[in-house]
Structure 1
Amino acid sequence: MYPYILENTILHYLNKNGILFRDNQRYMLNNIEVYMLEKIDGIRTKDEIVNEISTELEIEDIEKISSILEEFIESKSLLIKTSKNPKNHIIKKNGIKTKNIPIYLVLSLTNKCIMSCKHCFKSCSTENNTFINYDKLMDTLKYLKGKAMSIQLTGGEPMVYHRFLDVLDYCGENFDTTVTTTAVLINKNNIDCFKKVKDIQVSVYSNIPKEHDAFTNLDGSFNATMNGIDVAVKAGIPVSISTIVTKNNKNKLQDIVDLALEHDVKFLKFGTLRPFGRAITLKNKIILSSDEKDEVAKTISNLCEKNKDKIHIGKWEDKDESSSNNSFKEFHCFDCGGGIYQWCISEYGNIKPCEFVPDEIFSMGSIEDEKIENILDICNLNELARGMKRWQKDLNRIDLEMKDICDTMGRYYKENCI
């Protein structure tokens, strides 16, 4: 029998360990499993692999090696198969064996925005004026080329960054790139610069212009945003709309679906509003209760089924403790993989596990102060729990819990900080 790995599967090295993934399937691998996986090329039989391992490791117990290999293959059966005939499927590899380089990277280019949305967790506005250092950002991106896989460009409004198009061009050429934007600045003169991006993600808060504008605190923002979406769709660039579900619109979600369909948008996602940043004042006004979240989950499930032939509607993002991913537990990171699987680099240059974590609470290092290759030698999550404890004290002063900000971080705090 010939063990082989499915096409389009990727092995990402995380120091001595790794992640094997394809689409929505994902396996964490320890160093022994990485070693065995590297032997599977689809053109050698299981017995040939076993004999090679026996020789390399100087282990004479062939049956034991064979049993371990079989158990490994069976435990990763969604991505590793066996065939009677050779299958030469070469998998893509990224990361570095001796470093913890993330697969996904969120780049917050600036905290400046042309809007002042009432819910913004970073309190972005036209008055903010912090921009990530361009030269140091580019040094970081050049190092991560061929090692990290995906990048999300966000802000604030990333398009107000003074070298945005240069950053976009490099990222689009070398990474799977998404751009999170208001779309207000997208027009026929710059849309060709987006041709290499995987997705443009745009937030729309209502299908009624006045309601959207009230959310963004900018008159005319609805029409400007929808115009940007139309320009991108016409150019054949994938666009996704994200909508925050509140007490005010939870019974009007079909209207958002209809709006997306009217503008030929193919992907729609509904999300929850968390009491963080400017949204703290909205906690008891428009933020959903637990019962309302359950109600919305059913509504969205029905919308998915009803519109499945017209538009892809993402799964409702609100998660309970059953969603905890124990595969990352040994890394002492968030169970979403934040800090290991994915990073955020803030507009201040700080490397963090998540955008939600304030810069002053925790950072694994700053590209403003050190080259990324030097940071990788020293960055770790050893001080994360201490920082989260300090943050919880700050949250207590405004009557919030960590779980109110993020369920994943709430679980981390419960498991590591109490």
Structure 2
Amino acid sequence: MKNEINYKEYYEEIKNQYPVINEGVRLHFWPDKTCVSARAPDHKSKIRLYNSSTITVNSNAIKLLELCDGIRTTQQIVDNIRNMDGINDNSLEEKITKFLYNASNEYSHISFLPARAKERVDLVSTGSKEHYFPTHFVLEPTNSCNLKCKHCYRLNGQYEKQELSLDEIKDVIDQMNNLGAFVVEVTGGECTLHKNFTEIIEYAYPRMNVLGVLTNGMNINEEMVEKLNPYKDKLLWSISLDSCDEQYHDSFRGIKGAFNKTCEGIRLLAKNDHCVRVSMSITSDNIDHIKDTIDFAHNDLKVLTFGYSSILPFGRGADLNNIGFSYEEILKIIDVRKYAEKYPGFVNFYEEGKLKNTLEHSKNCGVGWRSIVIGPNGNVRPCVMIDEEMINFGNIRDERIEDIVKKEIVKKLRNIEMPTEKSCDSCTRVSYCKGCIHRAMGANMERLDKGENQCAWAEKNNVLDYIKNIHTNSCANKSCGL
């Protein structure tokens, strides 16, 4: 339990200090809300920022943050607000103090200077009140891969090698930075196979607050880690490991020796104090491995955190049986909470009611408006799980990203409500669809294939046109895996 804060004492401590906006903090505007982002000061904060990239703020919070310019004391800020708005509220001092405490200690938005700053520090703002400019993007520099994973959502069957050049990647990073993006996930394919992988990280480093790398870890070596050590304060590695059982992992990933190479890469990063998360893909064949794999990741590999997810029936995953567990179903089989208690803060899982609360209070996951994906051929799509033949916004080789995300389809995706237990309580597929527009679209494609009508969710959100487009352009040749 957290200690109670005495805000009167805290105010006395900070009243003559100078609140100042931290480096990397941005105010980002969307048509329907305003958010603030920050640079993570440590590994734990980095994971929190990576998982929940922005904090929504109201006009009062914006006003306060703008006053944290390094040239006013806390007391002057309180007086400024009181005089500016003509407020006669005895609790104003405590309210502002509480806000400043949270801005400093919870979100790392501000710091306190003992003396006045030499120059005023202004709060940087990005985004637009007319259009949805993403704060997060996924970059797939190559579709090359050194594994043959049974569940791969991208590489299903034969494929032609595709790759973005370093100049194209730099231009993408610059464009996204100018639009307000501050979190990038570099994936693939296997992103470390791109010949300029370390240069990509080096270039993104001063332009992004968090650099996520999603990899199988097999290509990580001492030379690479040495080159990337200067950037580890922003790097977050998510490395796939599907079991502590070598034979199972190698079989699932399709290459003998994959387990040992992946573990070598993980240990090398952990040894150099990089922020590493082990990510486990769950099927009915390895669900009993979770407990031992958690122990292995914590005690042997020495990683910072562990996460798991179910396989989705897309790409090669469509050929797997007994997949698609919900988080609730996993928790019914394996008591992961026990391991959350055993290793505090280590296991990422949804606490009871937390997932439901998130789904009920968020219109959707941000697909296509808060986040976009830029593929190795330059195509821009809304989600890593959505094939470009399903929904394709445009191509960076033909259009500027700003023009691509201004398209009407982005606004339409923003307004689609994701399925929830509340909105779909009478549907037998709610555990599969909830929280994911893509899965719900897939479920409705199956309904159309069977000659059934669209579900109530699809009808309410007018997604039939999307489904028809997907059905015509993708499922006719089964490239979507459905």
1:240-266 CA distance string (max 9 Å, x none): 211122222222222102321212222
User: Which residue of 1 is the match for residue 126 of structure 2?
Assistant: 95
User: Which residue of 1 is the match for residue 197 of structure 2?
Assistant: 164
Report the Cα distance in structure 2 between the residues aligned to 1:39 and 1:234, rounded to whole angstroms: 40
User: Which residue of 2 is the match for residue 354 of structure 1?
Assistant: 383
Query: Does the aligned pair in 2 maintain the 1:244–1:272 contact within 8 Å?
Result: yes
Shift of 1:141: 1.2
Pair 92,229 (structure 1): closer, same or farther in 2 beyond 3 Å: farther
**1:258 lines up with 2:258 in the alignment:** no
Secondary structure at 1:180's aligned position in 2? strand
Structure 2 counterpart of 1:20, one-letter code? V
Report the Cα distance in structure 1 between the residues aligned to 2:295 and 2:65, rounded to whole angstroms: 48
**1:228 lines up with 2:265 in the alignment:** yes
Pair 124,6 (structure 1): closer, same or farther in 2 beyond 3 Å: farther
User: Which residue of 1 is the match for residue 461 of structure 2?
Assistant: 416
Structure 1 counterpart of 2:228, one-letter code? F
Report the Cα distance in structure 2 between the residues aligned to 1:326 and 1:92, rounded to whole angstroms: 28
Matches within 5 A, 1:5-404: 10-15=25-30, 17-21=33-37, 27-29=55-57, 32=59, 36-41=63-68, 43=73, 44-49=76-81, 51-52=83-84, 62=86, 79=102, 93=124, 95-97=126-128, 100-123=132-155, 128-145=160-177, 147-175=180-208, 176-195=210-229, 196-197=231-232, 198-260=235-297, 261-282=299-320, 284-288=321-325, 292-296=329-333, 299-308=335-344, 312-316=346-350, 321-324=356-359, 326=361, 329=363, 335-375=364-404, 378=407, 381-384=410-413, 404=432
Query: Does the aligned pair in 2 maintain the 1:181–1:201 contact within 8 Å?
Result: yes
User: Which residue of 2 is the match for residue 395 of structure 1?
Assistant: none
Q: 5+ residue gaps in structure 1?
A: 55-61, 330-334, 389-399
Pair 203,342 (structure 1): closer, same or farther in 2 beyond 3 Å: same
Query: Does the aligned pair in 2 maintain the 1:95–1:102 contact within 8 Å?
Result: no
Normalising by structure 1, we get a TM-score of 0.75
1:167-213 CA distance string (max 9 Å, x none): 12212343221211111111123221221142221101111211111
1:112-137 CA distance string (max 9 Å, x none): 21111001111268954111243222
Pair 27,191 (structure 1): closer, same or farther in 2 beyond 3 Å: closer
| Farther off after superposition, 359-368 or 106-115 | 359-368
1:9-30 CA distance string (max 9 Å, x none): 9443125642035655854246
Shift of 1:305: 0.6
1:313-339 CA distance string (max 9 Å, x none): 212499854422645x4xxxxx22333
In the comparison of the two structures, how many residue pairs are matched? Answer: 383
Report the Cα distance in structure 1 between the residues aligned to 2:177 and 2:314, rounded to whole angstroms: 33
Report the Cα distance in structure 1 between the residues aligned to 2:351 and 2:151, rounded to whole angstroms: 17
Report the Cα distance in structure 1 between the residues aligned to 2:142 and 2:434, rounded to whole angstroms: 23
Query: Does the aligned pair in 1 maintain the 2:186–2:214 contact within 8 Å?
Result: yes
Secondary structure at 1:190's aligned position in 2? helix
Pair 91,18 (structure 1): closer, same or farther in 2 beyond 3 Å: farther
Q: Could you say what the CA RMSD is over the residues aligned between the two structures, in angstroms?
A: 4.2
Shift of 1:46: 4.1
Query: Does the aligned pair in 1 maintain the 2:432–2:439 contact within 8 Å?
Result: no
Secondary structure at 1:251's aligned position in 2? helix
Normalising by structure 2, we get a TM-score of 0.66
Query: Does the aligned pair in 2 maintain the 1:6–1:79 contact within 8 Å?
Result: no
Structure 1 counterpart of 2:258, one-letter code? S
Report the Cα distance in structure 1 between the residues aligned to 2:430 and 2:166, rounded to whole angstroms: 33
Report the Cα distance in structure 1 between the residues aligned to 2:99 and 2:392, rounded to whole angstroms: 34
Structure 1 counterpart of 2:35, one-letter code? I
User: Which residue of 2 is the match for residue 393 of structure 1?
Assistant: none
Report the Cα distance in structure 2 between the residues aligned to 1:387 and 1:80, rounded to whole angstroms: 32
Query: Percent of aligned pairs with the same residue?
Result: 22
Pair 233,47 (structure 1): closer, same or farther in 2 beyond 3 Å: closer
Secondary structure at 2:266's aligned position in 1? helix
Report the Cα distance in structure 2 between the residues aligned to 1:207 and 1:363, rounded to whole angstroms: 38
Pair 142,237 (structure 1): closer, same or farther in 2 beyond 3 Å: same
Shift of 1:214: 0.8
Pair 362,247 (structure 1): closer, same or farther in 2 beyond 3 Å: same
Report the Cα distance in structure 2 between the residues aligned to 1:257 and 1:290, rounded to whole angstroms: 16
Structure 1 counterpart of 2:435, one-letter code? D
Pair 63,233 (structure 1): closer, same or farther in 2 beyond 3 Å: closer
Pair 177,190 (structure 1): closer, same or farther in 2 beyond 3 Å: same
1:117-165 CA distance string (max 9 Å, x none): 0011112689541112432221121234474222111001001223222
| Farther off after superposition, 137-146 or 9-18 | 9-18
Secondary structure at 1:292's aligned position in 2? helix
Query: Does the aligned pair in 2 maintain the 1:104–1:149 contact within 8 Å?
Result: yes
Query: Does the aligned pair in 1 maintain the 2:184–2:211 contact within 8 Å?
Result: yes
